[in-house]
Structures are given as structure tokens and as C-alpha cells.
Amino acid sequence: MKKIYFLALALFAFTFVNAQIIDDSMEFYTLGEMGTQNPGTWSSWTNDGGASNDGFVVVDTQSNSGDQSIVAVADEGRDPMLLLGNLTSGDYTLRWEFYIPTGKEGYFNIQGEVPAVGTALSGVWNSGDIYFNEGGSNPGAVSDTNGDMSMLSFPHDEWFTCILYVDIDNLTYRLSMGGNSTADIAFQGSGDSTLGGINFYPGSTGLSEMYVDDAYFVQGALSTTDFEEAAVTVYPNPVKDILNISTTTVVDSVVVYDVLGKVVLQAQPDAVSPSIDMSALSSGAYMVQVTTERGAKTVKVVK
């Protein structure tokens, strides 16, 4: 009975993990141009699979977790896109960590349908232009040309969390930050009924400089607690020998289970972002339970 019960829990965990569409800590990229390193997720307005090198740049000068993040700076001819899959029904939540230096501006918009790779975007705006410190003259302020975001604010020179909820069935979105949230904002009239991606355009005014880390995209609406638990990410996956765990807090324990619920590996790292040696395990699927002061998160990995 105990083993059957655990297997049910394991299957639930597999279902939860499968609901994660994007879980990217930026740690497994090579520094420099994002380019073609992950063209199914990170692209650009040129939409050529990353060949033009006009998307994000991978850096180790700033990071929310681990050592790396991605950045877009004005006057470099960049126009990065986060691809969300041209979804046409359901509701989804995107969380990312944002960093905007003092005197600099951040920006994103919600794009509708994104054409097939090889066709440059012409733009379908489901949101307005969402600015952080628009024009460099509104420190800490968030604005949207399509709706009221005056209840939101952000800190310069610090990482902060953005949580964007999009309800495609009702054609609305809302942004939450620092415990505050906008009301539901209707897609603007020039948009469509598709969730295609997020455009992080840094412009050409010399003002924009924005770093992104720990992008996490799931189906459904999640609470702040869910996202805190989701701040645990693992890479690479599939794993060969060493599994790296990226966290913002100390990891108390790591327990690895096989698909039958048997414990095959345990560790008490007592460290932030530890690495776990899985070289002794045979090939197959495993559930890795990572416990921090924020709670436990279980992740499926393949070896």
C-alpha cells in the first residue's frame, strides 16, 4: 500500500512538472550572444532562429540565481523575443526576474501570433507598451499604454519579480509585482486572440538596459508561494553525471527517487546552488526532491 501511495504521488509530480512549459535559469548557456543556443524559446524580431545575433546577450555580470542572466541594451540593434508557443486557449502565468539599473529603462509587450521561423515579425500587440521608468524620468514607475499600472512600482539596482497572468479565453492580462497586482486589462483592439510571445525591446534612445533571469512559464494561475517554490531549477536535463541545482536560498536536502518510489540517492548540501553527483545511477527517469526553507519542490530528470 505504501509503495502504491508513493507511486500516485510520483505520478502527480510528473503531471505538475509537465505543466511547466519553460523553466530557464540561464545557467547552461555559453556567455555572449544567445544566438541559436535555444531558438525555440529565445528569439528576436528578425525571427531567423537566432542567426542575426539581435536577441539577448548572456552575461555573468548580473544574476538573480546562479552566475548568469541575459541582457538587452539600447543602441545595439537588439529586439529580443521570448516565444510562448502561439497558444489560443486557456490561461497561463509567466514569471521572470528583472533588473534595471538606476537611470535606465525597461520594457516589454505581449505579442499575438508569431509567424513561422524565417518570417520577420510585423507585430501584433495584445498589450500596450509596458514601461519601467519610461523615458528615464519616472524612477520606479510602471506604465502601460493600454491600461492602469499606477499601483505598481519597482526598485532600481535590485532584482525584482514580475508575474504576468494571461487569460486567453477572456482576452485579458494582469501584472503583479511586490505583492500588488493590476486589475484584468483587456487585450487592446489591434491585437488578436493568441499568446505568441513577449517582446523585450530596448529601443534606440540610449536609456534601456534590462536583465532577465529565472524565466518560468506554466499553464494556469499560480500563487506567489508556488513561484517561490519554483525558484528551484536544475540543469542540465538530461543529466550525464553532475546535476546542478540553482536556488536563491540554502538547500537543506536533496532526495532522488526512482519511478517506483525507492530512494536511490540522498544528500544534505547545506549550501546555495549545490551540485549532486548522479554518476552512480543507471540511465532512466528520476524524481529529485529539493528542500529549502521555502518548502520542497520535486523535479523530473532523465539520466
Q: Can you give the three-state secondary structure of the chain, one letter per residue?
A: CHHHHHHHHHHHHHHHHHCEEEEECCCCCCCEECCCCCCCCEEECCCCCCCCCCCCEEECCCCCCCCCEEEEECCCCCCEEEEEEEECCCEEEEEEEEECCCCCEEEEEEECCCCCCCCCCCCCECCCCEEECHHHCCCCEEEECCECCCCCECCCCCEEEEEEEEECCCCEEEEEECCEECCCEECCCCCCCCEEEEECCCCCCCCEEEEEEEEEEEECCCCHHHHHHHCCEEECCCCCCEEEEECCCEEEEEEEECCCCCEEEEECCCEECCEEECCCCCCCEEEEEEEECCEEEEEEEEC
Q: Classify residue 34: in a domain, yes or no.
A: yes
Residue 177 shares a structural domain with residue 264: no
Residue ending a domain, among 171, 193, 219, is 219
Residue for cell digits 517582446? Answer: 199
Residue 54 shares a structural domain with residue 165: yes
Report the pLDDT value the prediction gives residue 8, as an integer from 0 to 100.
38
Residue 81 shares a structural domain with residue 145: yes
The domain containing residue 274 runs over which residues? 232-302
Q: Classify residue 32: in a domain, yes or no.
A: yes
Full pLDDT tens readout for the chain, 303 residues: 333 333 334 333 333 333 457 888 898 899 999 999 999 999 999 999 999 999 999 999 999 887 899 999 998 999 999 999 999 999 999 999 999 999 999 999 999 999 999 999 999 999 999 999 999 999 999 999 999 999 999 999 999 999 999 999 999 999 999 889 999 999 999 899 999 999 999 987 789 999 999 898 988 887 655 555 556 778 887 888 999 888 777 899 999 998 888 899 999 999 988 999 999 999 998 989 888 876 677 778 889
How far is CA 289 from each of CA 104, 245, 267, rounded to the nearest angstrom?
A: 39, 11, 11
Q: Classify residue 225: in a domain, yes or no.
A: no
Residue 100 shares a structural domain with residue 197: yes
Q: Classify residue 284: in a domain, yes or no.
A: yes
Q: Classify residue 1: in a domain, yes or no.
A: no
Residue 166 shares a structural domain with residue 237: no
Task: Give the chain's domain count.
Answer: 2
Report the pLDDT value the prediction gives residue 3, as an integer from 0 to 100.
37
Report the pLDDT value the prediction gives residue 224, as an integer from 0 to 100.
56
- What is the pTM assigned to this prediction? 0.74
Residue 200 shares a structural domain with residue 279: no
Report the pLDDT value the prediction gives residue 122, as an integer from 0 to 100.
94
Report the pLDDT value the prediction gives residue 203, as an integer from 0 to 100.
85
Residue 124 shares a structural domain with residue 258: no
Residue 236 shares a structural domain with residue 212: no
Burial class (CB in 10 A: 0-12, 13-18, 19+), 177: buried
Q: Classify residue 103: in a domain, yes or no.
A: yes
Residue ending a domain, among 161, 196, 219, is 219
Residue 102 shares a structural domain with residue 199: yes
Report the pLDDT value the prediction gives residue 292, as an integer from 0 to 100.
81
Residue 199 shares a structural domain with residue 236: no
Residue 159 shares a structural domain with residue 295: no
> CA torsion sign, 266 to 268 to 271 to 272?
positive
Report the pLDDT value the prediction gives residue 299, as an integer from 0 to 100.
79
CATH code at position 195: 2.60.120.560
Residue ending a domain, among 183, 198, 219, is 219
Residue 113 shares a structural domain with residue 199: yes
